[in-house]
């Protein structure tokens, strides 16, 4: 049986539901504990030091439906502001920084376009989404799309005329 059939439960409609992940030992995931310890050590180096690769990050490692390691490292909030003259972030004092947790949400920005496009094309191939269908037919509450007749194709090719970015940083 293919992995995706083992890792996902089938819903009553025949559609795949979300994978049922569980936390367990590296051994139960079929992974070498020593290799995972090394991975965690290397992971922590990415968010430490004077010039970290990233201010904060989360690592999840496993195989199939088993998560063998979950680690958080660094800061969810490290900088107070940006100094344009120095072209650098202004760091908060350590006591005011907010550490990353394994459940910290991250703004993936443009990376979500990749996942959305793949999911949309899969639905188009299945016949459950029409490439030239109006988005308002699927999401009537998306009033801009419904009002202006924006199509799925226009969203996927970034030709809908919608604003290219949303000020999500202002949202609660």
Which helix (DSSP H) or strand (DSSP E) does residue 73 occupy? strand 66-77
pLDDT band at 140 (very low <50, low <70, confident <90, very high): confident
- For range 128-138, the mean pLDDT: 93
Query: What was the pLDDT predicted at 125?
Result: 94
- pLDDT tens-digit series, residues 14-37: 454 556 889 999 999 999 999 999
* Per-residue pLDDT at 49: 83
| pLDDT tens-digit series, residues 62-85 | 999 999 999 999 999 988 999 999
Tokens read off for 143:
């009033």
Q: How far is CA 58 from CA 71, 100, 148, in A?
A: 6, 8, 40
- Given this model, what pLDDT does residue 44 score? 96
| Residue 167: per-residue pLDDT | 61
Helix (H) or strand (E) holding 47: none
pLDDT classification of 162: cutoffs 50, 70, 90: confident
Report d(CA 151, CA 145) in Å as an integer: 8
Alpha-helix residue ranges (DSSP H) falling in 22-67: 33-45
64 within 8 A of 29, measured Cβ to Cβ: yes
Q: Assign 41 to helix, strand or coil.
A: helix
Residues of the chain above pLDDT 70, percent: 83
Output the pLDDT for position 52: 86
Task: Give the pLDDT band of residue 134 (cuts 50, 70, 90).
Answer: very high
CA angle 16, 20, 2 (to 5 degrees): 60
Give the pLDDT confidence score for residue 166 in this predicted structure.
Answer: 62
């Amino acid at each position: 049986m293919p992995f995706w059939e083992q890792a996902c439960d089938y819903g009553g409609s025949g559609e795949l539901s979300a994978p049922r992940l569980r936390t367990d030992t590296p051994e139960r995931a079929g992974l070498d504990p020593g290799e995972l310890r090394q991975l965690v050590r290397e992971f922590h180096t990415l968010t430490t030091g004077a010039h970290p690769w990233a201010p904060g990050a989360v690592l999840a490692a496993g195989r199939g439906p088993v998560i063998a390691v979950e680690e958080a490292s660094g800061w969810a909030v490290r900088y107070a502001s940006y100094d344009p003259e120095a072209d650098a972030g202004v760091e908060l004092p350590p006591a005011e920084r907010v550490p990353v947790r394994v459940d910290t949400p991250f703004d993936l920005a443009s990376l979500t376009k990749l996942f959305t496009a793949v999911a949309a094309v899969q639905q188009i191939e299945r016949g459950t989404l029409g490439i030239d269908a109006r988005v308002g037919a699927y999401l009537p509450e998306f009033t801009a799309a419904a009002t202006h007749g924006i199509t799925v194709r226009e969203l996927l090719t970034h030709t809908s005329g919608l604003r290219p970015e949303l000020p999500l940083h202002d949202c609660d």
